């Protein structure tokens, strides 16, 4: 197994004259559970389709499990399980028939897990695929991907259309897959609260460009909201921190979100700015971090509210 399950170097994809993915460099170590996050139109689905060999990059390199997805198409499809955002099975196929078909296609197929999931997801005897609800359709796609026992599981908005209980079951299964077999899981989703529960790494992209990639815990430890009961200038803060957001919610109050927080740095800042003693420090959840990063990139956090 190569060091990285997924690796892209200066990956670029253009549609006509519009750049969908812009010189994207990502490295995802084998065995990690990765959340791939971005706003609508950020280039997530395009990137995933390139990883699967469905789209061809305009320039740059891409390696999925150490192989070029265009050259090793058939081999990679055996080793990679994929659930796309709009994936549909043929309308006539029943869940049981789909499972049987996949049993014949994949040598490493987990039949006992498939039988368990058919019951757990209540898919037995539901009739042909075209008659299933949206949630049931997602469930069968997820079932097929999980039971493939692939080295790499790529899922594009897998929980779309699932109710809360089904999402809970799905997350539980993903954790079992990731923890049990040390497989790589790559999930693109807008449900950041779900992602936060299962991923250990995160890649954030916006407008096709990489915003940030790394360990989720490191990211959460670094991004903090600081609340000072005094007026502090942005320049003073920037001498010590990388400031994502800066404003004044009230008179003689300063609120800042910083990217590279640590206790020692804050201690040094307070020593140099005695008036700023005892600031309140808040952690942010993944959703808040994502919003702060995207807004910062788009220049929306430069506001200064004077009251």
- Residues from 238 through 277 that contact another protein (CB under 8 A): none
Q: Out of 56, 134, 172, 252, name the contact with another protein by CB under 8 A.
A: 56
Pairwise CA distance, residues 13 & 282, whole Å: 38
Q: Does 15 bind another protein (CB under 8 A)?
A: yes
Q: Which long-range contacts (CB under 8 A, 24 or more apart) does 87-93 make?
A: 87/141, 88/129, 88/137, 89/129, 89/137, 89/140, 89/141, 90/129, 91/128, 91/129, 91/130, 92/128, 92/129, 92/130, 93/128, 93/129
- What's phi and psi for 6, nearest 5 deg? -135, 135
Residue 76 near residue 69, CB atoms below 8 Å = yes
Q: How far is the CB of 101 from another protein (least distance, A)?
A: 5
- Out of 29, 30, 54, 116, the only residue in the binding site for another protein (CB under 8 A) is 54
> For another protein, which stretch binds (CB under 8 A), given 55-63, 184-192, 245-253, 295-303?
55-63
Stretch that binds another protein, among 54-62, 169-177, 223-231, 244-252 (CB under 8 A): 54-62
Nearest to 248 by CA among 226, 270, 269: 226
Q: Does 149 bind another protein (CB under 8 A)?
A: no
List Cβ neighbours of 221 (8 Å cut-off, separation of 6 or more).
261, 262
Q: Which of 14, 30, 39, 229 binds another protein (CB under 8 A)?
A: 14
| Choices 81-89, 245-253, 261-269, 280-288 (CB under 8 A): range interacting with another protein | 81-89
**Closer residue to another protein (CB): 123 or 276:** 123
Q: Determine which residue in the list 10, 41, 91, 262 makes contact with another protein, applying CB under 8 A.
A: 91
Q: Which residue in 3, 74, 263, 306 binds another protein (CB under 8 A)?
A: 74
* Cβ 14 to another protein shortest distance, Å: 6
User: DSSP string covering 275-294, please?
Assistant: GG-S-EEEE--HHHHHHHHH
Nearer to another protein, 88 or 272 (CB): 88
Q: Which of 84, 94, 225, 254 binds another protein (CB under 8 A)?
A: 84
Contact 35, 26 (CB under 8 A): no
Minimum distance from residue 9 beta carbon to another protein (Å): 19
Q: How far apart are the first and last CA of the chain?
A: 58
Stretch that binds another protein, among 32-40, 50-58, 118-126, 250-258 (CB under 8 A): 50-58
Tell the smallest beta-carbon distance from residue 160 to another protein (Å): 13
Alpha-carbon torsion angle 175, 178, 181, 184, nearest 10? 170
> Which DSSP state fits 178?
H
Closer CB to another protein, 84 or 213, in the complex:
84
Give the integer Cα–Cα distance in Å for 289 and 1. 33
- The burial class, CB within 10 Å (0-12 / 13-18 / 19+), for 253 is middle
Q: Tell which one of 4, 82, 121, 290 touches another protein (CB under 8 A).
A: 82
16 scored as a contact of another protein (CB under 8 A): yes
Rounded to 5 degrees, φ, ψ at 28 are: -120, 110
Catalog residues that contact another protein under the rule CB under 8 A.
13-16, 49, 52, 54-56, 58, 73-74, 77-78, 80, 82, 84, 86-92, 101, 104-106
């Amino acid at each position: 197994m190569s060091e990285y399950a997924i690796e892209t170097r200066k990956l670029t994809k253009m549609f006509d004259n519009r750049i969908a993915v812009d010189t994207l460099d990502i490295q995802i170590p084998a065995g990690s559970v990765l959340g791939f996050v971005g706003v609508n139109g950020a280039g997530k689905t395009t990137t995933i389709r390139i990883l699967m060999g469905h789209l061809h990059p305009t320039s740059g390199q891409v390696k999925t499990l150490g192989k070029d997805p265009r050259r090793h198409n058939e081999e990679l499809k055996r080793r990679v399980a994929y659930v796309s955002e709009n994936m549909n099975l043929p309308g006539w196929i029943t869940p049981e028939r789909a499972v049987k078909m996949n049993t014949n296609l994949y040598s490493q197929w987990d039949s006992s897990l498939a039988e368990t999931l058919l019951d757990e997801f209540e898919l037995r005897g539901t009739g042909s695929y075209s008659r299933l609800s949206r949630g049931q359709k997602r469930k069968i796609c997820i079932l097929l991907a999980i039971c493939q026992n692939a080295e790499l599981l790529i899922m594009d908005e897998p929980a779309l259309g699932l109710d809360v209980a089904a999402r809970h079951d799905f997350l539980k299964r993903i954790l079992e897959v990731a923890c049990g077999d040390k497989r790589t899981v790559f999930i693109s989703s807008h449900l950041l609260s779900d992602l936060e529960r299962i991923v250990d790494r995160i890649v954030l992209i916006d407008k096709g460009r990489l915003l940030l990639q790394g360990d989720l815990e490191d990211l959460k430890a670094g991004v903090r909201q600081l609340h000072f009961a005094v007026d502090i200038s942005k320049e003073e803060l920037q001498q010590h921190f990388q400031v994502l957001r800066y404003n004044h919610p009230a008179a003689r109050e300063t609120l800042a979100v910083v990217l590279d927080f640590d206790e020692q740095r804050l201690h040094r800042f307070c020593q140099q700015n005695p008036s700023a003693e005892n600031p309140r420090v808040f952690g942010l959840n993944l959703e808040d971090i994502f919003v702060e990063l995207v807004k910062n990139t788009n220049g929306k956090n430069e506001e200064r509210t004077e009251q």
